[in-house]
Amino acid sequence: MTTTVLAAGNHFIRPGLFTEAVRAAAGNTPLDIRELRFDWPHTAFGPVAEVIEASGSEEQMIEALRGVEICVTEHGPLTERVLAHAPGLKLFCTSRGGPVNANLEAATRYGVPVCYAPGRNATATAEHTLTLLLAAARGVGDTHADLRRGNWRGDYYDYDNCGIEIDGTTVGLIGFGAIGSRVAGVLAAMGAQVLVHDPYVRPEALAGRAEQVPLDELLSRSRIVSLHARVTEETMGMIGRDQIAALPRGAILVNCARGALLDYDAVCDALDSGHLAGAGFDVFPEEPLPAGSRLLTAPGVVLTPHIAGGSRQVAHKAAAMAAAEVGRYLRGEPLVHCANPEVLR
C-alpha cells in the first residue's frame, strides 16, 4: 500500500531535500511524495491564524494536504482550520527546533502527532554566536564600516579604543542548552572563565567548563554576556535597563537567541553612553529590522539578519531529523521527538 507524503519546503530546506531524506528513511515502503515550496526566506515568516511562526497560508496547506497521510515541512502552518480540512493526516513533522508552526492543542484533539527537530541548528548557531562575540570584542563592525567608507582609522589602536581578548576574560552565558554548552566549550578552550546562569542545568553537564552562578552575580562579573535562553513568560524581557546597568562598564552583549529576551532601547542607551563597549545581534524585537532602528546607528554594534541557524549542513540535518520520524512511524516504532506524546497512548 502506498503512503502519501507532503514535502512542504522552502528556499532553505528545499522540497527535494525532504523528499530525498524521506525516501532514505522509509526504505522499501512505497511512497507518493508531493512537493510544495513556500517563499521563505524571500518572504518573512510570521503568524498564520493562531500559530506564531509560519510561512504560506492555510489555503495552500489545505489544498496540498488533500489525501495526505504524512506532512514534513519547516514552516507550513498546522492550524485548527487546516486540521479540520485534513482528515487523512496521521503525522506532522516540522524540521524546526520547536513546533512553533503547529497548534499542538488542536493537533492533539485531532489525534495527529507533531514531531520536531531539537538541536538541528545548535552547531551553526553556536558558531555564529562566537563570530559575533569575537567581532564585537574587537570592534570589527565599526572598523569594517570605516574602511568601506575609505577611512583608515589609526586611532582604533589607542588604548581606550582597543578591543579585548577572550583569553583570561570572564564570559557569562544565560542559558546552557544545546547552543550555550557548545559556546562554553569553545570559550573555555580559548582560555575564558565561563559563568552560566540556567536554573535547569544539571551540575554534571557543566563538566568543568563553566561555573553555575545566580544571574546578578553573572552580570556583575562578566565582561561579555551572551544570551541562549528560550522565550517563556519567565524569560521575556529578562535583560532590561537594570540588568544592563549591572554589567561592568565596557562590557559586550551578544544575542543570537530571541529578540524578546532583551530591551534594545536600553542597549542603545548603554552603547551611546559608553557603558556597553559593543554588541552583536542576530535577532531583534521586530524583524525585518525597521529602517529607523537605533541599532543601525549605535556605536560598536555588529548586526546580522537572523541567519545564525542557517548553514547548508543545517538544511540536510533538519530534513534528516524530520524524515527519521517518518521512518519510525512507517515501521511502527516509537517517535523520538514528539511534542504531544499523549496522542500516542
Active site residues: 258, 287, 306
Q: Could you write out the three-class secondary structure of 302-335?
A: EECCCCCCCCHHHHHHHHHHHHHHHHHHHHCCCC
Helix, strand or coil for residue 140?
A: helix
Contact call for residues 276 and 270 (beta carbons, < 8 A):
yes
Contact call for residues 211 and 238 (beta carbons, < 8 A):
no
User: In this structure, what are the phi and psi dihedrals at residue 83, rounded to the nearest 5 degrees?
Assistant: -60, -40
Q: 288: cis peptide before it, omega within 30°?
A: yes
Report the distance separating Cα 143 and Cα 279, nearest Å. Answer: 14
**488533500: which residue's cell?**
66
Nearest Cα to 170, choosing from 193, 137, 138, 190?
193
